[in-house]
Chain A
Amino acid sequence: MRIATQHKTAPVRSEQIILFRVSGQLFAVSSASVQEVRGVDTLSATAKEIDLPDLPKVKHFVHRGENSLYVVNAAMHFGLHPAPPSLVFVLRRTRTALLIDSIEKMTTMTRLQALPLAFCHEERSWYRGLTALEQTVVPVIKPDGFLTPDQLFSLDASLLPRESPAIYTASDMEPTP
């Protein structure tokens, strides 16, 4: 009697992603990381201007509950030629709203390759990794990689009322005897 061999294959883990474009460049983001997709027009009614010369990629913010959500121009963040954005991704569990050009489609990735170690600069904080889709390589963005804690601190500080600036000196921090 011949017994059929049973092949156990590991279930393929897949993740739903949104492919989107910024200045013609294709990127991917996990759909679970996108809380909301809005048109730029709908955001402009509630957005307020912010001007931090060191951080030109952030020009607006929106109040969300107790927090401020900072609107990051993705083209400027990635050093791409700026194009007029039409959509905003509100990224879940971050304080970032990302200006993008368009959504290409939703699809599924089954393999995420870590960013090769040859990429050794700022981009390591931009991407979760790379995925190959239909013979194309697409970088998968890291939602919390758009604003560093220092940048968020500077942005928050710039929103403090200017009438009563909080000025602390080193002596203020010393314990009182």
Chain B
Amino acid sequence: MTLIAETELQSFVLLRLGDRRFALAAAQIAELVAPSRIFHFPNRTPEIEGVLLRRGRIVPVCDVAEKLIGKTLRSRRFYLIAQRCYGAQTEWIALPVTGDCALINAEMTLPSDTDAPHVGGWLSHGGDVIEVLNLVALTPGPNEISPVLATVHAQEVRN
């Protein structure tokens, strides 16, 4: 009889920012898109670079590189479109990345109390230890979405 160790393998998308690699849960990823035009308009959310138009949807672009590697990306750019939760609501957000992304299966180690809030866990892959990103902590959004705001937002979409 052969005993197979049961491990909780999950799918992750590896992304590259400069020289470093990070991971996001594959379930959060909508698609990887080629360099696209970014539209700008006045706002007071400095983390948002602008918006891009994808399949008729307007998607905010959030450059997380400065937070993660200390500098913004110059040579990029693909956009990894991920789903970001705002309370019970989910919206797309585009993350600029350098180069291609890869899909892997790996076991995630949970973060410790001393890890930064944007660390959702850790992976060991190809000899590297890779941070799994927590988009809620990494990208801007209201601290707490009240049911009232969620309702108003839903009405705005319908209008």
Contact = CB atoms under 8 A, between A and B. Distances in A.
Partners in one complex: yes
A66 interface: no
B42 A119 contact: no
Contacts of A136: 39
A137 B53 contact: yes
A137 B37 CA distance: 11
A80 B53 contact: no
Interface in A110-166: 111-123, 126, 128-130, 132, 135-139
B142 A117 contact: yes
Interface in B75-90: 84, 86, 89
A116 B139 CA distance: 12
B156 A114 contact: yes
A109 B70 CA distance: 40
A86 interface: no
Contacts of B29: none
Contacts of A122: 44
Query: Most chain-A Cβ atoms within 10 A of its Cβ — which of B41, B93, B159?
Result: B41
Contacts of A123: 42-45
B44 A25 contact: no
B140 A135 contact: no
Contacts of A137: 39, 41, 51, 53, 58
A128 B156 contact: yes
B91 interface: yes
Contacts of A129: 156, 159
Interface in A82-117: 111-117
Contacts, number: 79
A122 B42 CA distance: 10
B41 A117 contact: no
Interface residues of B, number: 30
A112 B140 contact: no
Contact of B42 (A25, A114, A117, A132): A25
Interface string A58-79: 0000000000000000000011
Nearest to A138: B41
B159 A112 contact: yes
Query: Most chain-B Cβ atoms within 10 A of its Cβ — which of A117, A130, A139?
Result: A117
B53 A132 contact: yes
Interface of A: 25, 27, 78-80, 111-123, 126, 128-130, 132, 135-139
Interface of B: 39, 41-45, 47-48, 51, 53, 56-60, 62, 84, 86, 89, 91, 93, 139-142, 145, 153, 156-157, 159
5 contacts: A112-B156, A112-B159, A117-B141, A121-B45, A123-B45
